[in-house]
Chains A and B, each alone.
Chain A
């Protein structure tokens, strides 16, 4: 049987393993293989999810976490793209900036957490700063690399066909660098969640990480697992959005063309 001919069946393949794991897990807790002090039953997690949703508590934490993640990402990716464009298009800027950026890049940004807490306390600025710092480097590096790897022949053609600097950038350099920039953005999204989790776990008074840490102190293991699952879902959502952007912006790319196109 050719599975690819059955869209419903084919579409469900990625979900077979998670659903199977869930079933084993539920069965394991019911039979008593898995102690509920190690891992609560999926159903118990659903119950606490419903309870937290109804009380509005979950929504509040979720909103706070997403706001931190997105503002940190926006600042970091924005700075990374601008710096990448700048060093990518100007040799002088590259000489001036690139060595410094490469040095800072080699320090894991999470190592700065104690310093950042000293600077900003445990307020929002500390977390947003850490996320922005973490996101900036992959976006910067990929933007720079993308601009530098635009086909020289296409740039020469653009010049020979009378494109001015702005049109050359808009029609040749930017679209040529876009696949690489989007890779940087996907990397950045991964860094964004990682940093958010660490920052919220170490120092926060709201957000999903705080919710999990607080639940740990009260031995509410179902809420801890719920928080972890939500992180997984949010990460998947961000990745999905990045893929939608890739498919939209890289329609021309042979790797992104549907079989029919």
Chain B
């Protein structure tokens, strides 16, 4: 694992302060006769942003569910913050593919779900950070898809998670909203310094956001590519295009021209 000096410095200051390390060794998951994850190995540094790409059914969402503690592995060892993952944890939050807002609670109450004490000020503050303060007293039913995912991001961030898991949260959004959401997620990740794991179908999204892009094929990691581009990244740049093309080729199963896996 090679890192540029600036990245190391950034991980050093923000990461160790807040993000957690993830360490998966020989991780296995089976559903009946079907093996979804084959002795998977993955290390994530504190504060790192890792994107997991792969075709449908490759096991990437399963890996995320294991990281979240929503499911238990059938073999191997999974450590988060140096401790073995057993069930759900307060320092991990998930942003799901669907926003999963409670339709009977206002936007503000959704953000403050499960909190006690003076959560309203805090919830309003986080809503302001995702740009939705004026919708605080609305019902989720009147929000657009992008706004719902903003609320769901706010609901995750209010817990100041040390590990944020994003399960294709932008998959259902239109292209423009998606790009807006990506830069919002990037900004908040840089501000809070949590470790982020993003599962996505969208290679361009992975390259735009992640420090490392990891490809899972048939339950194994077959590509682990560092993204050396400076932030904020320019989608139009030739380096961006070349990297996106390289990863996309690997996802599609063709050998990349001059690719270094």
User: Contact residue range for chain A?
Assistant: 20 to 34
A188 to B235, CA, bound (A): 61
The CA of A254 and the CA of B138, in the complex, are separated in Å by 12
How many whole Å from B110's CB to the nearest CB in chain A?
A: 10
B139, A157: Cβ atoms closer than 8 Å: no
**With A252-B139, A252-B141: A161-B114 Cβ-Cβ less than 8 Å:** yes
Contact pattern, B 105-116, Cβ under 8 Å of A = 1, otherwise 0: 100000001100
Query: A163, B141: Cβ atoms under 8 Å?
Result: no
Does any Cβ of B come within 8 Å of A202's Cβ? Answer: no
Give residues 66-104 of B contacting A (CB, 8 Å).
68, 70, 88, 90, 93-94, 96, 98, 100, 102-104
The verdict on A257 contacting chain B, using a C-beta distance below 8 Å, is yes
A167-B114, A171-B113, A254-B141 known; A160 and B102 CB under 8 Å?
A: no
The answer to whether B139 touches A154 (Cβ under 8 A) is no
* Chain A residue, CB-CB nearest to B141: A254
Q: Would you give the shortest CB distance from B119 to chain A, in whole angstroms?
A: 13
| Chain A residue, CB-CB nearest to B113 | A161
Q: A154-B102, A252-B104 are in contact. Are A162 and B141 (CB under 8 A)?
A: no
Cβ-defined partner of A160 (8 Å) among B70, B98, B105: B70
| A156 and B114 contact, CB distance less than 8 A | no
User: B105 to A252, Cβ gap below 8 A?
Assistant: yes
Chain B, residues 226-243, CB within 8 Å of chain A (1/0): the string is 000000000000000000
A161→B152 CA distance, assembly (Å): 11
* B155 contacts the other chain (CB 8 A): yes
B100 near A172 with CB under 8 A, answer no
Measured CB to CB, the closest approach of chain B to A111, in angstroms, equals 39
Q: How distant is the Cα of A160 from the Cα of B96 in the complex, in angstroms?
A: 11
Query: Is the Cβ of B155 less than 8 Å from the Cβ of A161?
Result: yes
Chain A positions within 8 Å of B90 at CB level = 162
- The residue on A at minimum CB distance from B106 is A252
B70 to chain A, nearest CB (A): 6
Which of chain B's residues has its CB closest to A253's CB? B103
Contact A171 B105 (CB under 8 A): yes
Residues of A within 8 A of B93 (CB): 160-161
Chain B contact residues, majority secondary structure: loop
Report Cα–Cα, A253/B100, bound state, in Å.
15
Chain B CB within 8 A of A159 CB: yes
- A210 to B: closest C-beta gap in Å: 44
The reply to whether the CB of A175 lies closer than 8 angstroms to some CB of chain B is yes
Q: Please determine whether B88 and A160 come into contact, CB atoms closer than 8 angstroms.
A: yes
Known: A252-B103, A252-B105. A163 touches B113 (CB 8 A): yes
In the complex, chain A residues whose CB is within 8 Å of the CB of B94: 157, 160
**A residues 150-183 touching B (CB-CB < 8 Å):** 153-154, 156-163, 167, 171-172, 175-176, 178
Give the chain A neighbours of B70 by CB distance below 8 A: 156, 159-160
Which residue of chain B has its CB nearest to the CB of A168?
Answer: B114
Evaluate contact between B68 and A257: CB separation under 8 angstroms. no
* Set B68, B100, B114: member contacting A163, Cβ < 8 A: B114
Q: Which residues of A contact B102 (CB under 8 A)?
A: 154, 171-172, 175
Give the docked Cα–Cα distance between A253 and B70 (Å).
29
In chain A, residues 69-111, which have Cβ atoms closer than 8 Å to a Cβ of chain B?
none
Tell me the bound Cα distance from A158 to B104 in angstroms: 14
Neighbouring B residues of A167 by C-beta, 8 Å: 114
Chain B residue nearest to A255 in the complex (CB):
B141
Task: Give the shortest distance, in Å, between B51 (CB) and chain A (any CB).
Answer: 21
A187 to B105, CA, bound (A): 27
A109 to B98, CA, bound (A): 45
* Interchain CB contact under 8 A, A160 and B141: no
Residues of B within 8 A of A251 (CB): 139
- A31 vs B34: C-alpha distance when bound (angstroms): 84
What are 14 A-B interface contacts by the 8 Å CB criterion?
A153-B96, A153-B100, A160-B68, A160-B93, A161-B93, A161-B113, A161-B155, A162-B114, A162-B159, A171-B102, A171-B105, A252-B140, A253-B103, A253-B104
Q: Apart from A154-B102, A253-B103, what are 6 other A-B pairs with CB-CB below 8 Å?
A: A159-B88, A160-B94, A161-B155, A171-B102, A172-B102, A257-B139
> Which residues of A are interface residues toward B (Cβ below 8 A)?
153-154, 156-163, 167, 171-172, 175-176, 178, 251-254, 257
Q: Pick the 6 closest A-B CB pairs, nearest first.
A: A175-B104, A157-B100, A252-B104, A254-B141, A252-B139, A161-B114
